[in-house]
Structure 1
Amino acid sequence: MTKYLYIFILVFLASCGQPNSNSDKNDVVISDSIPKTEENNSVKNFKLTDKIEKFLWREDKYDEELKDTFNTIVINEELCKTLTEPEIAVLGYVGTYIGSECKWDGEYKDDRSNLKCKILTALNLGYQCSDRHLGFLRKWFKNDKKVLEEFDYNCPTTPYTASSQNTFDEITLIVKGNNISVWFSASGINMPMGESWNWTETDHFKLDNDYIRLIKKDKSKVKREHFDTGE
């Protein structure tokens, strides 16, 4: 429960002294008016190299501000230096819908346009739901209608101080031929309800010259637990 204790402390600290008018800045917001960027027609054909590489994991690290050790996300920066655009696209897609310790970059903005997430930052895709982020993904998923529609109505802006959220525990990138898979382990928590959960999932993609298609998602059964909130 160390990870959940850390989240609880962060949520508590973030909520102290905040006026009611700004209480929604820690909540989940699904954007239904995300601006679209023009399709980039200069995409190159990419040859993939077979690999199985861990992209993200968790480690216990000391927090200078809180003066304690907590479990935090770590990203394979060396792997990021070698990723092709299709590999960045599939990791960016998976990272869009689950938190990676996202936080407001500077002061919170009412349009929620400055949410900085560890995965998108490592992939050089800018802020969550930005034109840079979604524009890049739209370029690579340009022939996958279902994925494109998902970008239009479901791009959450959830900071890591939210009382209810999902987060990654581990991500592995698997490439074989023109097939790219992303295996991940994720967990979630709802502090007010005293509930936590976890699951694993593998998302399968296919590279076809200058675009990617999502083939299928293999998701495990979600395991749920209840804990005492102390109230």
Structure 2
Amino acid sequence: MCPPRTGSLKLVWTNASYQLVFDDAALPCLSDAERAAVAYVGTTIGTECEWAPGTDLAAPERMDCKLTTALGLGYQCEAKHKDFLVTWLGDDIPAQCARIPTTAFAQTALQELSLRNEPTTLVVAYKAVTTTGPGGEAWSWSETIGFQEKGPNALKIVYRKPVGKR
């Protein structure tokens, strides 16, 4: 049973070992609109992704990303994931879908994600870190994205508020 919610709901954070932790009680309680808003972020940022077992690395497919899996959307960037996003976001889907394993030198990784329901807007706020590889740069940044309903089973992005390098 899903408890009533008020305020901001922290869905993802990093623990002391820098691993992602999910609010396993809250994720199954998200509406499809909320799942779409959260999945939008997971499409563009690594969420502890690895190639699925049995993947031929000569022609890699089947990227298993923790957030996409936790949302019940299957493998990253594959049909189930993309179709869900297209249904909800139409032309607002990200131009590129992140398929970078955690073992890659250069990557962007999610550190924290929260969701807030306002009267007419779903607000997703997240923090991430980008690295350019060994001996390179690393910086943290964050963004807040507002989604509004544009019809039944459809959302549109109404604002994005990025915060640059810190």
TM-score by length of 1: 0.65
Write the mapping of 1:13-162 to structure 2, written as runs, cut at 5 A: 51-60=7-16, 70-109=17-56, 110-142=58-90, 145=91, 147-148=92-93, 150-151=94-95, 154-162=96-104
Q: Is the 8 A contact 1:50 1:177 kept in 2?
A: no
Tell me the secondary structure at the aligned position of residue 161 of structure 1.
coil
Q: Which runs of structure 1 show a deviation greater than 4 angstroms over 4 or more consecutive aligned residues?
A: none
Equivalent-residue separation in structure 2 for 1:197 and 1:188 (angstroms):
6
Matches of 2:21 and 2:120 in 1, distance apart?
27
1:193 Cα deviation after fit: 4.1
| CA deviation profile, 1:87-122 (whole Å, cap 9, x unmatched) | 000000111000010001103334432100010011
Give yes or no for contact 1:178–1:208 (8 Å, CA) kept in 2.
Answer: no
Q: Does structure 1 residue 216 correspond to structure 2 residue 163? A: no
Counting aligned pairs with the same residue, the percent is 29
CA contact (8 A) 1:167 1:188 kept: yes
Question: How large is the Cα RMSD of the aligned pairs?
Answer: 1.6
Tell me: higher relative CO, structure 1 or 2? Use CA pairs within 8 A at least 6 residues apart.
1
Deviations 1:55-97 (A, max 9, x none): 100112xxxxxxxxx3210011111121000000000011100
SS across alignment from 1:182: strand
Say whether the 8 Å CA contact 2:46–2:98 is kept in structure 1.
no
- 8 Å contact kept, 1:98–1:168: yes
In structure 1, C-alpha distance between the alignment counterparts of 2:55 and 2:134, rounded to whole Å: 23
Q: Which amino acid aligns with 1:219?
A: P
User: Residue 213 of structure 1 aligns to which amino acid in structure 2?
Assistant: K
CA offsets per residue over residues 203-229 of structure 1, 9 Å max, x none?
A: 111023321001121011223xxxxxx
Paired with 1:111 and 1:157, the residues of 2 have a C-alpha distance of: 13
- How many residues in Structure 1 have an aligned counterpart in Structure 2? 160
Cα distance in structure 2, aligned partners of 1:86 and 1:111? 33
User: Where do 5+ consecutive residues of structure 2 fail to align?
Assistant: none
- Name the amino acid aligned to 1:133: H
**Structure-to-structure mapping, 1:144-223, within 5 angstroms:** 145=91, 147-148=92-93, 150-151=94-95, 154-210=96-152, 211-223=154-166
1:134-173 Cα deviation digits (max 9, x unpaired): 100100113xx3x24x44xx12310110000011111110
Structure 2 Cα separation of the partners of residues 201 and 117 of structure 1: 20
SS in structure 2 at match of 1:91 = helix
**Structure 1 unaligned residues grouped into runs of 5+:** 1-48, 61-69, 224-231
